[in-house]
Every structure is written in structure tokens, then in C-alpha cells.
Chains A and B, each alone.
Chain A
Amino acid sequence: MSPRILVTGAGAVCGAGKSPEQIWEAVVSGRSAAAPIRQWDASTWPVPLAAEIPDFDPRVLVEDRKLHKLIRRSDLFGLYAAGRAIEDAGLLAARERLDPAALEIFNDRCGVYAGSGGGNYQNQYEFFPLLSTAKGDLAVFGRELSATVNPMFLLRSLPNNVLCHIGIRYGLKGPNACVTNHAVGGALALFEAALAVRAGEADRAVAVGHEAPIEPEAVLYYHRVGLLSREAVRPFDVDRDGTLFGEGAGALVFETAEAAGARGAKVLGEFLGAGSASEGENLLGLRKDGDGLARAITLALEDAGLGPSAVGLIVAHGNGTRASDASESAAIRQVFGAEPPPVTAFKWAIGHLLAASGALEAVLGVLAAGRGVVPGVPTLRRLDPACAPLPVSPKPQEPVSDVVLILSRGFAGLNVALLFRGLAAPIS
């Protein structure tokens, strides 16, 4: 018999706020964080908008200033959200009560899982001055290297930075993974963390997805391959024209019911199951019938031992691109038939956070299920007939149960489905 896996802490940061509660408030009040890009002058760009964190200040996110030189923007978000989730779960307070032997077991039995964003183009711009000096002569490049480039370049570029700095900062030493799998990275980090706890590899685990994709090259490339909107993310709308980038992180703490009960932890929700499937198409290709996503949902339901009718609401990937939304609605129809449960999506409000999206949307999805609210999608004007029937609405809806299905999709036809039960509990 597998143990029950509970969600005992959450943390989040994105353009819409610096806590799950703030972000939730923005979503339910219909505020989108999409705004003109501030990191460079994009006013004349074909895509001038993104959901940036408006008052970005590294010191507010991570107080240790020495660390700022060793990590990327994305890592700041990940460390912040994971730290907030650990505090929210009360893990530090729980540890203070332990004797040294019990503390060692606690640390060795706490896992850390990260879905890491990146492919950061600007990370490597640190080599531009050197390349400019060398003018194509690699002998010069080699000779001038140490005089020009920050010796910490490689360490700052490590995709697993969040993983190791959470470990160092909090002394956690359990099983771990860093998933670098484009936009399903965060969802897979949650997936692997929850299943590691279920398999008894750890008593508890912190899982975080983090991302900072708003940089000139990424915006331009995504625009050129037709994935970005010029004005707003309108999931499933007949006039949708693409997605918009967001940045930030989302994190959850998972614990066995036994471990959570032993320390009297507050409980936000329960992890029920997960499934993942791919489509084997081109990197940017998607099957029109949503085959991979439909199989991921079916696998998650099987893993949870639930039928489709048990699902109370669906948090769709809903990225606002023509192909993804159409195939996503096909997949939902395939699994749920003509009458799926209420559907919502969050990217209209927070943007597409790629590797962070699945994790952050899981945080919001657990809140939605716990509070019994399916937030509306105010940017939706007219449902695309190709996506119908799909119970998605500009207005809030009521879930039909406390079980939430969260969908996450990425390049290379990757799909992840996560199932949680939400509990009506306070959250900081």
C-alpha cells in the first residue's frame, strides 16, 4: 500500500506577486501582469510585452549578497520560492526541535527537486567583450581569457544551481534531480519529488520550477517561429495569436502523511497521481489530436486510481498558441467526453514561465481546488469552435469536486499531467 503524499508548503513569485496569496488575488480579480518589457528597450519590437517581475530586486529575493554573483536571475526566483515553501511548511521550526541524530536523519531524508529554466542566451554574453577583442583569433581568445571573463562564469551557469544552493542553505541532503526539459521541467520536478516520497526514498521533498526567459534572443526567436502574441494571451479564443513570456518560480513541499502527521504540519492538499507521455514529432511539432497529452492524463488518472468523473477542475496549459490550445482541447475531449469539468488557465495573468509554469500553476491549482473556485479567464472573448465544447469562461466557475488536474506541455511533444486534491487550509 503506497503512503498518502500531502502538500504541506507552497511558495511562488512571478509578475503577479511574491506569494501564492498575492498571485491568487491578482488572478481572481482579473489582473494580468503583462506589460511593456523593461529589461531592454523593446518599444519598437514586434513583441513589446511580457509578464516581468515589476520591482525586481535581487536583495529582496535572496538576502545573501555574496550569492548574487554566483547565480542567474532564474536561480534567484527558484531559491526564493523554494525558501518560502520550506518556511511555509514549517520545516525549519520542526528541525529546531530535533536532537543531532534525528536532525541528521531528517536532512538525509529530505529530497530536493528542481525544474530548471535556462538555455539562457545572455548568460554567455559574458564572452562578448573577449570575442570582440579576439576578432576571430582563438589564440588571442585563449590568452586574454582570464583577464576578461569572470572566473565564476561556469558556476553561475550551472543549470542545477537552485538544487545545490537549496541544499547548502538548508542542509538538505536527500535524493534529488534537476530536470532541464523545457516547459515541462517544473511539472516533472513535482512529479519526481512526489513519487520519490511515495517510493520511500525520502520522507519529504521540496520541488521547485524556476525560469527567466525574458531576454532579447529568446523573445525574438519565439516570435519568429510564431509562438508569441502581440497583445494578450487568450487561451482557447478564436482570435488567439500566441503566448507571452513570464518569469518567476513556484514550489511545493511534499511529505508522507506519517511524516506530516508526526510534526503536526498544516496540510494544503494531497498529491494523487501523475502521468507523462511524448509525441515524437519535430521539436516544434504537435499532434492535432492531442494524443500525447490525452495519454498523460489517462496515465495520471490510472496512477491516482481515479476515473475522469472524479476530476473537479482542470488547469489547462492554455498557452494561447493556435496549435497547442486546439490539440489540448482535443485531448481533454478525448479523455472527458462531451462534458469535461470546468477548465481554467493562468498564463493570461502570469505569462508563460516555461520551466516554472507547471510548478507555479500547480501551486495555484491546489489553491483553486482547496477554495472551491475555478478562476475565470477574462481575456477570453469568444471560444474557438475548434476547441468546443470546453467549459472555459471569462467568469469564475464552481469545481465539481476538490480534485484538480494540472496540464503542462513543452517542446518535443512533451506532456505532463498532475492530479491533486485541494484542502481548504490557510496559506501564507
Chain B
Amino acid sequence: MNGRRRVAITGIGLITPTGNGTAATWEALLAGRSGVAPITSFDASGFAVRIGAEIKAFDPGDWIDDRKLLKGANRAHGFALVAADEAMRDAGIRPTEETGARWGCVVGAGMMGVAFEELATVQQECAPEGQLDTDRLVASPHMADPVVFCRSQPCAGVGLLLRRFGIRGYASSVHTACASGGQALGTALKVIRRGAADAVLAGGFDSMLNPVGLGSFCLLGALSSDNETPERASRPFDATRNGFVLGEGAGFLVLEEWTAARRRGARIYAELAGDGNSLSSYRITDSNPSGDGPIQSMRAALADAGAAPGSVDYINAHGTSTLMNDRAECAAIRAVFGADAERLAVSSTKSLMGHLISAAGAVEAAVCALAIRQSLLPINANLATPDPECDLQFVQGQARSRRVRVALSNSFGFGGSNSCLVLRNPEEVDA
């Protein structure tokens, strides 16, 4: 630990189903207001699942006065640009001509592919019978638009952020399914630690709430189909849980080298103190019931942070509200914390905002930073029927007041990538 550069979280920006902006999101989480509702952005009436956690009343043009930039942005990129803007404003620092090369940008980006409307256009123009006709493709006017091409590139999101803020250092997009946002922050932490950057804009963004995205999760049977009771549909750790709720959104953090942040008098929410990631190497969609995989990521993260298990006061669980994830996660927490598991508080904020997929890890790390800052723990909503196999100390009913020394944010992805981030109260660093 000696001589290693520490990393401070100095800015937060959130666009989530519970609110456009950090304050609105946080307030809804404390009040227990759900962001899950019937899907309105397209006609979902024929789908088995007709509910989702959508971003409401959102137009990036209301926030960002750069039409040209926004032309290159798809829906998720819009969330990212606005959340990143808020994080920069919140941190009170921006890259300049002089400092831009010492800034990095790491994002957890969604699955690659074109937007649904563009897929539908190509189908209508070039595959009317359902099979691609390459001659029609060559003739299609749709294929002549370079902006459509640019939007579909896997690095389009990070590219827009680099341009928007004049960031010229290390830049990367990562994707490990539901762990993407956590892995992006973990990568950013290491980039600052090794001295390759002094500050990093890091986060995640995603939007799969479209016919293909919703459809592909429906086909896997991973979603709750409680269409009549949307606000109760996401109920992590409840015995009656039956799947997750698909959400969308973005979360961004400004990370700065600790001493530089202190020197400029920045408000520090928390230290981003440790990152642990592992592969479950079990099955592609299944969790090992023993918690193997997540166990290693939590242990590695605690060791990386130099934090004892007994110092952890809050875990923002991955808690998807699927039978398998929630049980495996509880088994992993039990294995890592032993008797200490009795005194640490756990909640899954997916109970209110659904599962933001590639954005989830970043948004939930931001929630941990806010919990540390305000000594308030958001609830695990909808936990009415305890599952004996998920017997942890969940934050229920209403937000709990509690000083947090160390918080953990768990994110586990399809394919078995596990990410655990450790956040430490700045008072613990300075003590």
C-alpha cells in the first residue's frame, strides 16, 4: 500500500429509471419510489413481459447544446453524455488543453449492434422476405449515411465522451455483460494507480429496452413477467422472486488522484479503494450455487483495498431478483464474511431501478458513494417473504441511517465475469 496512488471519487452523474440526475435518483431510492412501470417507448403488448425500468421524459438536447455531437449519439449514448456532464459539473473540474492528455475515459458499453429502428430499416429495404439480399444492400440509401455507421461502432460512446470533454489520455470501452460498469471503474482505478492518468471519467451506459433487447431476454426466460404489478416485480432476495426487470440508463464518476483532489479542495465522496474481478468458469448463464467466482472477486477486492471484512458496513448487492443469482450471492457473502455477515447491511437497488445491464455496476458504485457521504442506506424494496437461503441483514422498509466505513458494490455478468468494488469513507483514509 505504501506509496501507492489513491483514487478519490469527486463527481457523480446519474440518469436512471428512478430519476434524471443524481439528486432525483437518490431521493427516489431513499423514498422507495420504483422506476418500474409498463413499457411506453414502444408497443410491447405482444411480449410476455410488458414492463421495464425506462428513463422517462428524457431529451439529451435539453441538457447538451451541441446538435452535431448528439447526431452521432444513440439513446444510450445520450444517457452517457448527460450523466457525464453532470459528473463533471459535480466535480467542479474539467480537462483543459493543458491537462487533457492526463485525463482518461473508461466506459462499460452495451452489447454491440445497431439500433432497432436501423435494423428494421435494413430489413425493410434489403431483406423484405427475411433474408438479406446483398444487391439491395448496395442500392440502399440507408447504407449511404456515415452517421448511422458511426453510431453503430463499438467505441462510439467513448468517442463522443472524448470529444465532448477534450480527454486525450487512456480511453477504453469494456463489456462483460452485467459486470461491465464495475469493470470499467476497476480499470479506471488501475489507470490512475499506475500513473497513466491523474483523472478518469468512468462509468457505464446501456439501453436494451427495445424489441430486440427485451425480446432476447424474454427468450431466455430471465425477466419477471409480473405485468400487473410492475412496482413489485423486482424483489431481490424475496422467496417469490421470478426474474429481473430490464432497465436502462447511465452512471458516471469523476475519479481523481487523491492528493491532487485534496490539494484543489475537492469534495470527496469516497475513496475508490479496491477492485477485484474473477471468472466463475461454471456455466454461461448459471451461477455456481456455492458462490465460487463471486467469492474470489470479493476477497480480491478487499485485499486490494487493504480492508478487513469486519470494516465493511454496507454491500450494494448485484441482487438481480433471479432465484439463482440471489442465492449464489448470499452464499458468497456468507463465505467471505462469516460471522461479520450478521452486522453488515445489504440491499439491492435493482429492486427500485431494475437492472441497467452495462450501466448497473457504475450506477450502483455511485449509490455506494452517496451512502458513504450521507450515512444513509437505500432500501431493498419488495422484500416481503424471506427466503431462508438468503438470510442476510437486508435494509427493509425505509432507508437506514448508518455511518459507513467501507462499502462494497457487486456486479456479476452473464458469462461469469464478476466485479467487486470497494469504496472507503474519506474520514477513514484521513484518520
Contact = CB atoms under 8 A, between A and B. Distances in A.
A125 B414 contact: no
A121 B114 contact: yes
A142 B220 contact: no
A178 to B, nearest CB: 5
A163 B160 CA distance: 27
Contacts of A170: 281
A120 B119 contact: no
Contacts of B146: 221, 224-225, 284
Interface stretch (A23-31, A94-102, A405-413): A405-413
A190 to B, nearest CB: 13
B267 interface: no
B99 interface: no
A422 to B, nearest CB: 25
B167 A278 contact: yes
Interface in B168-206: 168-177, 183, 187, 190, 194, 196
Interface residues of B, number: 90
A384 interface: no
Interface in B279-305: 279-285, 292-293, 296, 300
B97 to A, nearest CB: 11
Nearest to A135: B124
Contact of B281 (A145, A167, A284): A167
Contact of B174 (A145, A167, A180): A180
Contacts of A119: 112-113, 152-154
17 contacts: A125-B132, A127-B215, A141-B46, A142-B211, A149-B219, A160-B417, A163-B176, A164-B416, A177-B176, A179-B173, A182-B154, A224-B146, A277-B168, A280-B167, A281-B163, A282-B159, A411-B155
B281 A163 contact: no
B277 interface: yes
Interface stretch (A37-45, A230-238, A239-247, A321-329): A37-45
B309 interface: no
A278 B43 contact: no
B219 A142 contact: no
Interface of A: 40-42, 45-46, 70, 107-108, 112, 116, 118-125, 127-129, 131-133, 136, 138-146, 149-155, 157-161, 163-165, 167-168, 170-182, 185, 188, 192, 195, 199, 201, 216-217, 220-221, 224-225, 275-284, 291-292, 295, 299, 410-414
Nearest to A226: B146
Nearest to B277: A175
A284 B150 contact: yes
Contacts of A295: 101, 168
B128 A132 contact: yes
A112 to B, nearest CB: 6
Contacts of A123: 113
Contacts of B63: none
B308 interface: no
Contacts, number: 285
Nearest to B129: A132
Contacts of A280: 100, 162-163, 165-168
Interface stretch (B137-145, B229-237, B257-265, B311-319): B137-145
A277 B169 contact: yes
A283 B194 contact: no
Given A171-B281, A176-B277, A224-B146, 14 more contacts: A164-B284, A175-B300, A178-B174, A180-B109, A188-B172, A195-B190, A195-B194, A201-B300, A217-B122, A221-B143, A225-B146, A278-B162, A283-B155, A414-B155
A275 B196 CA distance: 8
B171 A276 contact: yes
B132 to A, nearest CB: 6
Contact of A153 (B137, B219, B296): B219
Nearest to A164: B415
A154 B208 CA distance: 11
A120 B132 CA distance: 14
A414 B105 CA distance: 11
A168 B293 CA distance: 12
Given A149-B215, A180-B174, A411-B159, A159 B111 contact: yes
B58 interface: no
B177 A160 contact: yes
Given A195-B194, A413-B162, A141 B215 contact: yes
A228 B211 CA distance: 33
A176 B174 CA distance: 11
Contacts of A108: 278, 296
B167 A176 contact: no
Contact of B158 (A129, A139, A181): A181
